[in-house]
């Protein structure tokens, strides 16, 4: 599980946060179209979107880590702090802290993926409308130029 959380943390830190910043500040058309395309890819058999799969997996991982955290809290509370249980107590508290960190990381991924998907969808829809308006205006200008000639 630590390898998966390490990979997801790297994905979160080096890929997802810069994309969120670019989408919020710059609104690059190519990047938003690419993200919109990737998130709307559907699996051919069940017709499930990639976005839904990522969203559900992040939610399940966050829930699993929160459950593990609460379970470890009960175990840590039951330990005595005598000399025989010090090593077990330290190991369980470290596992408790790691599961709490992972839970919040997956919860942040869950929220940021929703934000990116909604922002990209709204920008994409507004750009589609702008492109339609520009196309209509261009056709009107062509028609008016033909009538003048």
Across 10-22, average pLDDT: 76
DSSP state of 49: B
Match 């839904």 to its residue by tokens: 52
pLDDT of residue 1: 53
- The pLDDT, as a whole number, for residue 67 is 92
d(CA 88, CA 91) in angstroms, rounded, equals 5
State the average pLDDT over residues 107-132: 83
Range of the domain at 105: 2-148
Provide the β-strand partners of residue 42. Answer: 49
pLDDT (average), residues 102-112: 84
CB 106 within 8 A of CB 58: yes
The domain total for the chain is 1
pLDDT tens-digit profile of 17-47? Answer: 777 787 778 777 777 778 778 777 777 777 7
**Assessment of whether the complete model's pTM goes beyond 0.75:** no
């Amino acid at each position: 599980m630590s390898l998966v959380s390490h990979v997801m943390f790297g994905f979160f830190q080096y890929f997802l946060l810069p994309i969120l910043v670019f989408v919020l500040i710059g609104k690059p058309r190519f990047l938003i179209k690419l993200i919109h395309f990737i998130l709307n890819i559907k699996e051919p058999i069940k017709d499930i979107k990639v976005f839904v799969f990522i969203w559900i997996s992040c939610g399940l991982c966050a829930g699993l880590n929160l459950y593990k955290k609460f379970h470890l809290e009960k175990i840590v509370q039951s330990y005595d702090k005598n000399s025989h249980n010090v090593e077990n107590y330290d190991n369980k508290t470290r596992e408790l802290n790691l599961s709490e960190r992972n839970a919040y990381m997956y919860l942040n991924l869950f929220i940021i993926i929703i934000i990116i998907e909604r922002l990209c969808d709204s920008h994409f829809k507004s750009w589609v409308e702008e492109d339609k308006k520009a196309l209509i205006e261009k056709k009107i200008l062509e028609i008016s130029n033909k009538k003048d000639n």
